[in-house]
């Protein structure tokens, strides 16, 4: 124990400097982490994706949604090839017109139903451009591929299951009553 205390007396200045240097390094990295987190949190995060709804699984929906914490401004969506709604059949219209969406609030989404068409056999390269509240521009590229939807199995919604089971029970009771002697 005395040997340890003598080392502490002899090297107390060096140990103090080492502790200060370690503290400075830890503080520096903590500060950089805090700055990075503060910069990333308040920005919009706009995504374009494909979904189906439980109550109508025969229709594909394209959804444009802001998952970020702030408003996304001046949103433009470009697809290649151009994604068109094939209704009416003789005059298909583009899903995303040459139009800028003025804003999309946090957690807000825009959905568009896609009736049956040949778009399910294609891949679409999409480019989203938008601005944050601070005027910073963002560009996101992604690919939408409808091909996988041909092979998905969807379970019926709970309401449909109840209705189908009630119909089966009714049919079974009806069969029993018709077979009973009178």
Residue 62: the pLDDT is 83
Domain contains 163: no
**The domain containing residue 86 runs over which residues?**
46-151
What is the number of domains present in the chain? 2
Residue 73: the pLDDT is 94
Whether residues 117 and 140 share a domain: the answer is yes
Whether residues 120 and 73 share a domain: the answer is yes
b/e burial code for range 149-177 (CB count within 10 A of at least 16 → b)? eeeeeeeeeeeeeeeeeeeeeeeeeeeee
Whether residues 139 and 57 share a domain: the answer is yes
Whether residues 105 and 31 share a domain: the answer is no
With CA atoms as reference, report the closest residue to 48 among 99, 104, 88, 118: 104
Domain contains 12: yes
Residue 113: the pLDDT is 78
Whether residues 24 and 9 share a domain: the answer is yes
Query: CATH number of the domain that 124 lies in?
Result: 2.60.40
Cis peptide before 64 (omega within 30 of 0): no
Whether residues 136 and 86 share a domain: the answer is yes
What whole-number distance in Å separates Cα of residue 43 and Cα of residue 134? 9
Report whether 132 contacts 72 (CB < 8 A).
Answer: yes
Whether residues 60 and 138 share a domain: the answer is yes
Whether residues 118 and 73 share a domain: the answer is yes
Whether residues 53 and 36 share a domain: the answer is no
pLDDT in tens, the chain (182 residues): 788 777 777 777 787 888 899 999 999 998 888 887 776 667 899 998 888 776 666 677 888 999 988 999 999 998 888 777 766 667 767 776 667 889 999 999 998 877 666 666 778 888 999 999 888 899 999 988 877 666 655 555 555 566 667 778 878 887 887 887 76
Strand residue runs (E) in the chain:
46-53, 56-66, 72-80, 84-85, 93-94, 101-104, 109-114, 123-131, 137-145
Whether residues 83 and 7 share a domain: the answer is no
Whether residues 25 and 94 share a domain: the answer is no
User: What's the first-to-final CA gap in the chain, in angstroms?
Assistant: 105
What whole-number distance in Å separates Cα of residue 20 and Cα of residue 14? 10
Domain contains 19: yes
Residue 36: the pLDDT is 78
């Amino acid at each position: 124990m005395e040997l340890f205390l003598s080392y502490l007396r002899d090297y107390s200045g060096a140990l103090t400097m080492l502790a200060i240097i370690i503290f400075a390094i830890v503080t520096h990295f903590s500060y950089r982490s805090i700055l990075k987190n503060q910069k990333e949190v308040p920005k919009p995060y706009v995504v374009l994706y494909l979904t189906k709804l439980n109550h109508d699984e025969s229709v594909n929906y394209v959804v444009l949604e802001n998952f970020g914490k702030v408003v996304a401004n001046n949103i433009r969506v470009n697809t290649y090839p151009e994604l068109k709604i094939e209704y009416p059949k003789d005059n298909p219209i583009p899903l995303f017109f040459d139009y800028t969406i003025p804003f999309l609030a946090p957690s807000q989404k825009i959905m568009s139903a896609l009736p049956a068409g040949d778009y399910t056999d294609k891949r679409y390269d999409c480019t989203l451009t938008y601005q944050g509240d601070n005027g910073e521009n963002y560009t996101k590229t992604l690919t939408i591929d409808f091909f996988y939807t041909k092979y998905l199995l969807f379970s019926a919604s709970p309401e449909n299951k109840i209705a189908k089971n009630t119909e089966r029970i009714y049919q079974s009771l009806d069969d029993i009553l018709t077979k009973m002697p009178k």
